[in-house]
Structures are given as C-alpha cells and as structure tokens.
Structure 1
Amino acid sequence: MPHVVRMLWIILLACLSPLALGERLRLVTDDWAPYAYLQDGQLRGIDYEVTTRVFARLGVEVDVQILPWKRCLAMIEQGQADGILDIFQNESRQPYLVYAPEPMSYVEFVLFQAGTRRHPVSKLEDLTGLTVGTSPGYNYGAAFNEARYFKREAAPSHEANFGKLVLGRIDLAITDRRVGHYLLQHLGLQQQVEVMPLVISHQAQYLGLVRKPGRELLALAFAEELRRFKQEPAYAVISKRYSGDIGNIPNAVEQQESSTAR
C-alpha cells in the first residue's frame, strides 16, 4: 500500500475508534443460504461469517437476526435496526441508508424447473402463459418484474417455492443460483429439480447501515477492511467451506429495488 494511502487509513481508524468503542450493532437479513442462515439454531453463512470477522477487526460487536425480507426492509426504513446484510444498492434508500462500497458477494437470478415438466425457455418471452414462483420483496429486474405475459406467484419462503414446483402448483421458480443449489441439496431434490440456462439478472449485494452520525465513516472503514480480508487465506477458507456446501457453484448475482426490494 502506498505510504500516503496507509497514512490516510491510519487517520480514518483513529477517527473511527471513538465511534466504534463499545458500539454494538443490530443487523438484520433474511434466510438467504448459503450467504446467511440459521442451522440448528446457529447463524451460519459466508457473508455472515465475513461480516462478523470484519467488524471484530474494527472493534465493533454485532448481533445478526434472521427475519422475513420485507420486515427487514421496514425495520431499516423505520430505524429499528442499525444495518442490513446482503442488500442491493438503490437510490430510493439513500435518505436513510449508507452502503459500504465494497460488495459482500454477488448473486445471479435464474429459473428452476421440475425434471418431469420441462419448459423450452431461452428468453423472457418464452415464459408466456407460465406461472413463476417468486419471493415477497424481491426485485428480479425491471424486464422480469414488469412483464405481463406470465404470472408471478409469491410464496412465504424459497423452500415453499421448490415444494410448489415439485407438486406442479407452479411451472418455474426463480432464485439466486447459489441459493437454489443449496436448497436442492438441503431438501434432497437434486434429482427432481434442475436449473435452467437463462440468467434473469445479476448484481452485487452490500452491507447497508442506517444513516446516523459516524455511520458513513464506519461504512468506509468496513469496506476497506473487507477488501483486505478478501486477500487473506482466512477468506478463502470461508468461501471454500460454503462453496463445498453447494457443489462449488460460482458467485453470480441479483436482488431487489423499490421500497420492498432486496
């Protein structure tokens, strides 16, 4: 690191230390395995582990709570939590949310179908007349969200969508590629459900902090420490652990927009 940049970083940390001292942040996110989720009552996930590790380096304690996504968004907008994990950047949230500029990870929204009921889909228009299972509060991109030639049917959870897919109650389900592959393994549906090649959308997801004095500085410090951590063996160990959980599915892309988007 150049000397000037190193000095600026030292100054930044010096300014941050009084703000971080004794602070305990309440972060919220939804069940978004393998990024963040509960397993046997314990919080797990690549982005959960990385977030807590980075904040620990900054001297900030965090509590992470798993809640429905729409409730997470409402709590952030109303100031009932300090931050939100794995959120997309959205200009409409700028008045009350500041983003740590380094992405936590990337997601890629794709379609899943039952192996016994395949559909020839290579572009969005091929969804004409079909019903696609979605999740409340998620934005899959304007083209998908605004199309009128197919039906979108929300379910209370990603697991519920896959259950409806197997039972034939919906034609397709949409979710992040890594999340989908994790769920197929977790639910034992690898032989019944398959991913389709069409990518609906993809995007980076970030840590967002509720705007308060000092939070912009904390977001910058988090981003800088996250960049450092990504270059270390410990980050690779965490990534490999969760990639192994889902068969080495690569990082990909997207979430939401609007007031009810991811």
Structure 2
Amino acid sequence: MPAFLSLLTAMFLTCLSLSAQGERLRIVTDAWAPYAYQQDGQGKGIDYEVATRVFERLGVDIEWQFLPWKRCLAMLDQGEADGVLDIFRTPEREAKLLFPDEPLSDTQFVLFQATSRPHVANSLADLAGLTIGTSAGYNYGDAFMQASDFIREAAASQEANFGKLVRSRVDLVITDRRVGQFTLESMGLQDQVSALPLVIDRQPQYLAVRRGAGMDQLALRFAIELRRFKHEPAYTELTTRYATASSANKTVEQHESSAL
C-alpha cells in the first residue's frame, strides 16, 4: 500500500477508535491570558480557541478543565487527563507526552518596569542587585534561572506581581510580553507600567497529548490541521481580535498559575 494511503488509513482508524470509545478527551490547562483563560465560566484565549477549532475539524470531542499548573501535570502523570494546552517542550516531557510538530504560539519573556522608576537593562548583567518578580514555578530560560547576582521573588499570580511592582516591592517583573500587556490592561495599569526591549527568553507553546494507543496519529493529525488553519483568514481574524481585546478593559478571571 502506498505510504500516503497508509497514513490516511491510520488517521481513519484513529477517528474510529476515539468514536468507539464514546468518550471525550480531557484537556487541562491553567489560566495564561490571553493564550488561555476563563471569563464568566467560559473558555477564552488565542490558543484555547485555535485548539478548539482544530479539534472540531478533526471530529474530536474535548472536555476542557482549567486548573493550577501543577495539578495539570499531576493529572497527566496519573492518567486522569489526555492532554495539556500551552506547555513547553523539553526532553523530560517528551518521554511522557507526544508533541505535534506545529506549535500553537510563541512566548517572549521580557521585563516590565514601573514608569516612575525606569531601569536600563541591555543584558542580565544590568539586573545585578535588583529584585525581579516572577511567577511561582515558571521557567524563564537557563540563563535567567541560573543567574546569581539578582533576586528572584515569586508571586502567586501576574496581578500580584504587578501590584508589587507599582508599590515598589520589586524592581522589575518578568513575564511573557502578551500576558503582561493583557494583564496590565485588565488591571488599568497600562499607564504606570511598561515593557523593556530586552528579551530574556523565547519558547514555543504546544498542545501535548499523553502517550497511548492512537495518540501518535492524533498528534500528527492535529499538527497537519493546525498548520492548515494558520494559513486561513479565520486564524488572522482570531489573533488580531486578541491583539486588541485588552483595550476593551475586560475583566479576566485569572486562576493562580504555578508553572509552565
């Protein structure tokens, strides 16, 4: 049988397998606005909506759960979840999870400063002696995490970090650029806090699924459909909408995050 027909057959059998089970796939994630979050009990976010549309096209029914990050990872380890949204790809995670070849989005970790207390930061060396607000359990790249000449002070949420920044309890805050801007808009602090140009780290985010029967084909089909969707006007419309959504000053239900 030609290779292409073999692939189509495998995809078809995967669909039949999922349908025959009569069960939804359970996908877990934590709140990471504007990529994924809840508003009025409804799932929102760039990556959440993209993943939802891709699964709909694949005919796969999904049960979404928003939980603290450590709980998400524990559910995967215990077999209580079938996949996780917005996870970084590491060799350790690849031993347990299947990652589609196509990422959902890319993060860009930058530093935010209070406009009343500006800082010059062209490299990590310029952070010497400062206290940097972080989110508990998050990884900002080896260089930042292993540096010893500045203090990393963790908070339970993005909002808590920015609150400490404007009250001069930390010197700078590190987070993804989009997440920071979205959070500042929701808190009404966009005129009091600004991002510095230095990029500390970049990481692609994926939807990963547990290893198991038929899941490798699901990951393959997800990557193919995601890549196709990214070239459609509907994808551009979605990402543009979230790029300007923060200006509407929406109230975001942001759960406590623990790690990415």
TM-score (norm 2): 0.90
1:172-251 mapped onto 2 (5 Å cutoff): 172-246=172-246
**Of the candidates 17, 20, 24, which is equivalent to residue 19 of structure 1?**
17
Alpha-carbon distance in 2 for matches of 1:5, 1:120? 56
What is the aligned residue count?
247
Alpha-carbon distance in 1 for matches of 2:235, 2:184? 25
Secondary structure of residue in 1 paired with 2:28? strand
- State the match for 1:162 in structure 2: 162
Alpha-carbon distance in 1 for matches of 2:183, 2:53? 25
- State the match for 1:99 in structure 2: 99
Secondary structure of residue in 2 paired with 1:107? strand
CA contact (8 A) 2:11 2:217 kept: no
Please say if 1:129 is aligned against 2:94.
no
Q: What is the root-mean-square deviation in Å for CA atoms of aligned residues?
A: 1.7
Please say if 1:86 is aligned against 2:86.
yes
CA contact (8 A) 2:108 2:201 kept: yes
Alpha-carbon distance in 1 for matches of 2:79, 2:134? 27
**How far is 1:246 from its partner?**
4.3
- State the match for 1:50 in structure 2: 50
Deviations 1:72-119 (A, max 9, x none): 222222322111101111101122211111110111000001111112
Q: Greater CA deviation, 223-232 or 171-180? A: 223-232
CA contact (8 A) 2:136 2:156 kept: yes
Alpha-carbon distance in 1 for matches of 2:101, 2:95? 16
Alpha-carbon distance in 1 for matches of 2:134, 2:68? 14
**How far is 1:52 from its partner?**
1.0
Distance 1:231 1:23, change over 3 A: farther
2:17 alignment partner AA: L
CA contact (8 A) 2:107 2:204 kept: yes
Distance 1:235 1:33, change over 3 A: same
Alpha-carbon distance in 2 for matches of 1:150, 1:204? 26
CA contact (8 A) 2:86 2:205 kept: yes
Alpha-carbon distance in 1 for matches of 2:11, 2:33? 32
**How far is 1:178 from its partner?**
0.5
**Gap runs ≥5 in structure 2:** 248-257
- State the match for 1:144 in structure 2: 144
CA contact (8 A) 1:47 1:104 kept: yes
Deviations 1:13-71 (A, max 9, x none): 31222222133111111111111001122110011111111111111111222222222
Deviations 1:211-234 (A, max 9, x none): 111111111111111111112222
CA contact (8 A) 1:113 1:195 kept: yes
Secondary structure of residue in 2 paired with 1:111? strand
Structure 1 segments, 4+ long, off by >6 Å, are: none
- State the match for 2:253 in structure 1: none
**Gap runs ≥5 in structure 1:** 248-259
Secondary structure of residue in 2 paired with 1:80? coil
Alpha-carbon distance in 1 for matches of 2:193, 2:6? 51
1:19 alignment partner AA: S
Distance 1:190 1:31, change over 3 A: same
TM-score (norm 1): 0.89
CA contact (8 A) 1:20 1:58 kept: no
Alpha-carbon distance in 2 for matches of 1:96, 1:63? 21
Deviations 1:173-207 (A, max 9, x none): 11000111111111110110010111000011101
Secondary structure of residue in 1 paired with 2:109? strand
Alpha-carbon distance in 2 for matches of 1:12, 1:50? 24
Secondary structure of residue in 2 paired with 1:43? strand
**How far is 1:9 from its partner?**
5.2
**How far is 1:8 from its partner?**
5.5
Alpha-carbon distance in 2 for matches of 1:240, 1:8? 38
